[in-house]
């Protein structure tokens, strides 16, 4: 339950005076939230200094001036092109207000002759007098002090002016309660941090330009608070998980040895190390949750298999979840063959497997007859019951969040879990998204892998490229021809892919196949099968082959409209032709009109095969959420923190979260109670719900 003290901040926005239905919708859309606290996270990005004031005769024109004036007379325009003019004065001189767009009546009402008003706006010298076009403010003299300040400028949307925004925020700021301090006093002092309440007030009332910079102390304080909440939540999720008693699988390695005896390669050192990490997780009495990161082709599958054998050796079952049916099938081919040679029973379960066969699998899982189950997320539907599931592998699945991970860990009998991903993840993202997990990296490719010869060329060469494939085809090579398929242009993209398929078919006949996301699963499978066994040598594909597909004879890849892909995505794609020991060729075809940035990006692909470096460049160009595909999956970005500026704060928050929970694992001390409030404040309480206090 959210602490009561926070209730005023979690009221709906329309409880604020002035926010009606219309503004409610507009603002909610703008700030991505419907509560008062969401408005408070909406910080100004700039400011307008209205502090300059003096008698009219002393005005230095060109600046924004604020002052109290008396209306002398209205001068309606003689010609259409002229503005409506209103002459005003003080004891020292005159200023003329010009209105180019106006309603005469409302001007008369707003500025009746003889009244006093405070006005603020940019002044200029024109026609031998001081003028102001469309004052930013026209208000009662008693508002002079409010207006004659520094005005924060908010990111705004059509329909809500900055003035209104400011007014709404002002009403929201007074609702901030005095909260017990959760920051460590020494740290606060060293960073020059104000209290939380002061920090928010300050962030919304900047005085100088530095105050709206992400490095201003008030902003840093809020960013730190947010990052601390995030890191605490992850650490709690992790502690909760770890503390959950697990099982201790002490495998001696007899099954692993059997597999080693039949493997046609030696593990790389990196594979060995990561395998050892997992074996340690299995033998520890806690439930393991580990992220395994390794570039495409580094050999994650065999590590997963060896790890699964550890659990199986101890009499438990293991399951491996792949993101697509094709990948599940492919894993089953590899792993099923290995299982057979090791004397272990593996099975495949996808939504396509129905009827009697499905029931047989359910039976085998219940009886314990099946040791290893491969499948899609269908694996974890309610009607699947394991006899004793002790180990779970999630493959290529970086798109799932903390809550899903928690859910998964509740399946089976306190299973250890590994999540494998080929996406190189920068440290900041590891901390903020996967901070609840242990982390291992396979940072080495098997020996003998040849670099891919990547070339960037214009699509105008496409006919030459098509013809040049002849030689490769005669040599038995398999070729991927990738066409983009993006949701927004699905129809035209698909048409382009089909057209390419037909054009290639004219030259190479039945050697050409097509596979795309709109096809039925069994049609896709059939095409992939033909491509694997060589009946088909050119596979025209939309990005369905993006992750994991393994055809070691494939050494050539052509990507059309390569500029439309993300760099990491291209890297994953290119990984498909690096499976064997043959050097691959990758042609990136781009449209005729290529921007400089686009060219630069494609050149990164040409010059590097280091997934990590490519990901960093991609991050520079597109932001973290894009890399992990989290934008689509709705995982939120930070509200205040910006890792471009607050990396160091993240590392600090990470360490602080550890220290805090080590000393006060249940957040029971006085500071612990304050930190609970912080978690609710930033809505990082999801892991907390399960946290028995």
Residues that bind ligand ADP (CB under 6 A): 265-268, 271, 294, 296-302, 422, 446, 548, 550, 552, 579
Residue 267 binds which of Mg ion, ligand ADP, none (CB < 5-8 A, kind-dependent): ligand ADP
Element (H, E) at 671: helix 670-681
Residue 305 binds which of ligand ADP, Mg ion, none (CB < 5-8 A, kind-dependent): none
Distance CA 78, CA 458 (A): 61
* DSSP structure string for 303-363: HHHHHHHHHHHTT-EEEEE-SSHHHHHHHHHHHHHHHHHHT--EEEE-TT--HHHHHHHHH
- Provide the token pair at 1: 């339950």
* Count of CB atoms situated within 10 Å of the CB of 96: 19
Where in 7-66 is the site for Mg ion (CB under 5 A)? none
Taking the least distance from each CB to Mg ion, the nearer of 195 and 550 is 550
Q: Which stretch binds Mg ion (CB under 5 A): 8-16, 169-177, 515-523, 544-552?
A: 544-552
Exposed / middle / buried, residue 494 (Cβ in 10 Å: 0-12, 13-18, 19+): middle
Cite the beta strand spans of 563-622 per DSSP E. 585-590
CB of 666 to ligand ADP, least distance (A): 40
CB of 546 to ligand ADP, least distance (A): 12
Taking the least distance from each CB to ligand ADP, the nearer of 320 and 675 is 320
Distance CA 204, CA 219 (A): 10
Taking the least distance from each CB to ligand ADP, the nearer of 581 and 603 is 581
Residue 323 interacting with Mg ion (CB under 5 A): no
Distance CA 310, CA 252 (A): 8
CA-nearest of 613, 624, 622 to 431 is: 624
CB of 424 to ligand ADP, least distance (A): 12
Taking the least distance from each CB to ligand ADP, the nearer of 235 and 545 is 545
- Provide the token pair at 69: 């004036």
CB of 354 to Mg ion, least distance (A): 27
Angle between helices 567-575 and 596-607 (to 10 degrees): 30
Phi-psi region of 253 (alpha: psi -120 to 50; beta: other; left: phi over 0): left
Position of tokens 């393991």?
Answer: 288
Taking the least distance from each CB to Mg ion, the nearer of 33 and 336 is 336
CB of 549 to ligand ADP, least distance (A): 9
Taking the least distance from each CB to ligand ADP, the nearer of 38 and 546 is 546
CA-nearest of 262, 402, 630 to 622 is: 630
Q: Contact, 346 vs 564, CB < 8 A?
A: no
Angle between helices 254-262 and 300-313 (to 10 degrees): 140
CB of 395 to Mg ion, least distance (A): 6
Residue 435 binds which of Mg ion, ligand ADP, none (CB < 5-8 A, kind-dependent): none
Position of tokens 């503004």?
Answer: 23
Do strands 129-133 and 116-126 pair parallel, antiparallel, or not at all (unpaired)? Answer: antiparallel
Phi, psi of 59 (to 5 degrees): -60, 130
CB of 159 to Mg ion, least distance (A): 49
Chain position whose Cβ is nearest to ligand ADP: 299
CB of 582 to ligand ADP, least distance (A): 13
Angle between helices 217-243 and 643-663 (to 10 degrees): 50
Taking the least distance from each CB to ligand ADP, the nearer of 319 and 551 is 551
CA 248 to chain centre: 35
CB of 3 to Mg ion, least distance (A): 45
Taking the least distance from each CB to ligand ADP, the nearer of 515 and 577 is 577
CB of 554 to ligand ADP, least distance (A): 11
Residues forming beta bridges with residue 421, ordered by sequence position:
293
Can you tell me whether residue 227 is helix, strand or coil? helix
Taking the least distance from each CB to Mg ion, the nearer of 310 and 548 is 548
Taking the least distance from each CB to Mg ion, the nearer of 252 and 552 is 552
Taking the least distance from each CB to ligand ADP, the nearer of 447 and 692 is 447
* Count of CB atoms situated within 10 Å of the CB of 83: 18
CB of 13 to Mg ion, least distance (A): 46
Taking the least distance from each CB to Mg ion, the nearer of 436 and 546 is 546
Residues forming beta bridges with residue 124, ordered by sequence position:
131
Exposed / middle / buried, residue 574 (Cβ in 10 Å: 0-12, 13-18, 19+): buried
CB of 484 to Mg ion, least distance (A): 22
CB of 270 to ligand ADP, least distance (A): 9
Under DSSP, the state recorded for 141 is G
Chain position whose Cβ is nearest to Mg ion: 548
Distance CA 284, CA 302 (A): 22
Residue 152 binds which of ligand ADP, Mg ion, none (CB < 5-8 A, kind-dependent): none
Residue 297 binds which of ligand ADP, Mg ion, none (CB < 5-8 A, kind-dependent): ligand ADP
Task: Please give the torsion angle defined by the CA atoms of residues 407, 410, 415 and 419, in that order, rounded to the nearest 10 degrees.
Answer: 0
| Binding-site member from 206, 424, 548, 611 for Mg ion (CB under 5 A) | 548
Taking the least distance from each CB to ligand ADP, the nearer of 97 and 267 is 267
Distance CA 107, CA 470 (A): 79
Residue 47 binds which of ligand ADP, Mg ion, none (CB < 5-8 A, kind-dependent): none
Size, binding site for Mg ion by CB under 5 A: 1
CB of 300 to ligand ADP, least distance (A): 3
CB of 313 to Mg ion, least distance (A): 23
- Provide the token pair at 300: 């994650």
- Alpha carbons within 13 A on the beta-carbon side of 181: 13
- Provide the token pair at 39: 């408005």
Taking the least distance from each CB to Mg ion, the nearer of 404 and 550 is 550
Taking the least distance from each CB to Mg ion, the nearer of 326 and 538 is 326
Q: Which stretches of the chain bind Mg ion, using CB under 5 A?
A: 548
């Amino acid at each position: 339950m959210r602490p009561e003290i926070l209730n005023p901040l979690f009221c709906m926005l329309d409880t604020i005076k002035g926010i009606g239905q219309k503004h409610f919708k507009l603002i909610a859309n703008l700030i991505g939230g419907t509560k008062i606290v969401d408005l408070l996270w909406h910080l100004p990005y700039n400011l307008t200094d209205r502090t300059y004031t003096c008698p009219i005769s002393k005005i230095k024109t060109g600046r924004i001036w604020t002052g109290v004036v008396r209306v002398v007379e209205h001068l309606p325009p003689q010609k259409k092109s002229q503005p409506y003019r209103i002459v005003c004065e003080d004891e020292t001189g005159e200023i003329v207000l010009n209105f180019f767009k106006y309603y005469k009546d409302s001007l008369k009402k707003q500025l009746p002759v003889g009244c006093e008003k405070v006005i603020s706006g940019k002044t200029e010298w024109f026609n031998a007098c001081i003028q102001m076009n469309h004052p930013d403010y026209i208000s009662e003299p008693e508002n002079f002090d409010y207006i004659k300040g520094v005005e924060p400028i908010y990111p705004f949307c059509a329909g809500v002016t900055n003035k209104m925004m400011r007014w709404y925020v002002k009403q929201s700021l007074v609702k901030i309660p005095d909260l017990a301090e959760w920051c460590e006093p020494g740290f606060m002092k060293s960073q020059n941090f104000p209290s939380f309440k002061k920090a928010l007030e300050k962030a919304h009332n900047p005085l100088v330009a530095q105050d709206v910079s992400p490095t201003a102390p008030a902003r840093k304080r809020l960013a730190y608070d947010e990052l601390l909440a995030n890191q605490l939540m992850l650490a709690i999720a992790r502690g909760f998980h770890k503390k959950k008693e697990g099982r201790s699988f002490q495998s001696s390695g007899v099954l692993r040895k059997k597999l080693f005896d039949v493997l046609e390669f030696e593990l790389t050192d990196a594979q060995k190390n990561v395998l050892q990490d997992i074996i340690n997780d299995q033998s520890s009495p806690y439930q393991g949750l580990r992220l395994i990161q390794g570039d495409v082709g580094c050999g994650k599958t065999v590590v997963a298999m060896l790890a699964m054998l550890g659990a199986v050796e101890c009499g438990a079952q293991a399951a491996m979840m792949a993101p697509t049916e094709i990948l599940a099938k492919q894993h089953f081919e590899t792993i099923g063959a290995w299982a057979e040679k090791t004397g272990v029973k593996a099975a495949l379960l996808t939504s396509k497997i129905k009827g009697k066969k499905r029931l047989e699998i359910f039976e085998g899982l219940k009886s314990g007859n099946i040791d290893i189950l491969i499948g899609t997320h269908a694996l974890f539907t309610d009607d699947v019951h394991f006899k004793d599931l002790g180990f779970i592998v999630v493959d290529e699945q970086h798109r799932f969040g903390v809550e899903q991970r928690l859910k998964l860990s509740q399946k089976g009998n306190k299973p250890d879990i590994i999540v494998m991903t080929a996406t190189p993840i920068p440290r900041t993202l590891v901390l903020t998204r996967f901070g609840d997990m242990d982390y291992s990296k396979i940072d080495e490719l098997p020996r003998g892998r040849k670099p891919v010869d990547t070339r960037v060329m214009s699509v105008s060469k496409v006919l030459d490229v098509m013809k040049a494939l002849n030689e490769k085809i005669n040599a038995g090579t398999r070729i991927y021809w990738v066409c983009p398929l993006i949701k927004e242009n699905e129809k035209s993209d698909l048409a382009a892919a089909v057209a390419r398929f037909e054009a290639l078919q004219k030259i190479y006949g039945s050697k050409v196949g097509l596979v795309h996301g709109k096809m039925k699963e069994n049609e896709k499978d059939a095409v992939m099968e033909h491509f694997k066994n060589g009946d088909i040598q050119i596979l025209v594909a939309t990005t369905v082959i993006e992750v994991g597909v393994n055809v070691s004879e494939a050494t050539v890849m052509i990507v059309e409209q390569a500029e439309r892909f993300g760099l990491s995505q291209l890297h994953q794609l290119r990984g498909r032709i690096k499976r064997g020991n043959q050097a691959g060729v990758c042609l990136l075809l781009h449209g005729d009109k290529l921007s400089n940035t686009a060219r630069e990006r494609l050149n990164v692909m040409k010059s590097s095969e280091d997934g990590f470096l490519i990901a960093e460049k991609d991050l520079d160009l597109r932001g973290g959420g894009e890399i992990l595909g989290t934008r689509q999956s709705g995982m939120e970005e930070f509200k205040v923190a910006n890792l471009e500026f607050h990396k160091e704060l993240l590392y600090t928050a990470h360490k602080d979260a550890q220290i805090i929970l080590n000393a006060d694992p249940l957040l029971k001390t006085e500071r612990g109670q304050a930190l609970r409030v912080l978690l609710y404040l930033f809505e990082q309480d999801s892991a907390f719900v399960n946290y028995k206090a």
